Homo-oligomer: A and B are copies of this chain.
Amino acid sequence: MTTHYPSTIIALIKNLSRLPGIGEKTAERLAMHILKVPLKEASGLAESILKVKEKVRLCNKCFGLSDSEVCKICSDVNREQNVLCVVEQPGDLVALEKSGAFKGLYHVLQGVLSPMEGVGPDDIRIRELEKRISEERIKEVVIATGTNVEGEATACYIAEVLGILPVKVTRIASGVPIGGDLKYVDQVTLRKAMETRHVF
């Protein structure tokens, strides 16, 4: 350990190196940077950390990240109000938003079904999804959970549960990534792409 610094600096280095991907060397460099910058910049960083912990909560409607009761997307009247995209985590929502591919509302499950880890349907926001579909008169639910085993299982389960409701349930497509070279694509993906081929 770098015990050759004053104790306040050692404490900062220790706290910084708890962040993911920040080793002790990087933490040391960051601490030296923080020492050098104007007080305003450093306290701005500290305060934004505290503020995020204080303010950020889950949106009451979609369970995405929000700093108010209802998030920006849910309260945006310009978005399609009767299409819901179901994702696993807030990060997936952000990825879809960045792509600009979806203009409806989201529903963040806050997890995936995983019997191995004891996560059942009542541990993720599936009941809330059902409730929203009836209450908000949703016409289509796009299931955009991951394409790994848990994501697929969750998608299947949701499709089944929603089967009795008057709503169209769709699944985002799987296949060869755009710009991908066929010889580098794994066999399962290729098989899926072949199975779900469509008329050109």
A34, CB-defined interface residue at 8 Å: yes
A138, CB-defined interface residue at 8 Å: no
- Given that A2-B98, A4-B94, A42-B50 are contacting pairs, would A20 and B31 also be in contact in the complex, using a CB cutoff of 8 Å? no
Flag if B6 contacts A56 (CB, 8 Å).
yes
Interface residues of A, count at CB 8 A: 52
Flag if A52 contacts B67 (CB, 8 Å).
no
Closest B residue by C-beta to A3: B97
Closest B residue by C-beta to A71: B6
Complex Cα gap A20–B34 (Å): 10
- Chief secondary structure at chain A's binding surface: helix
Binds B, one of A9-17, A112-120, A150-158: A9-17
Closest B residue by C-beta to A50: B46
Flag if A8 contacts B55 (CB, 8 Å).
yes
A49, CB-defined interface residue at 8 Å: yes
Contact of A67 among B8, B19, B39 (CB under 8 A): B8
Flag if A7 contacts B49 (CB, 8 Å).
no
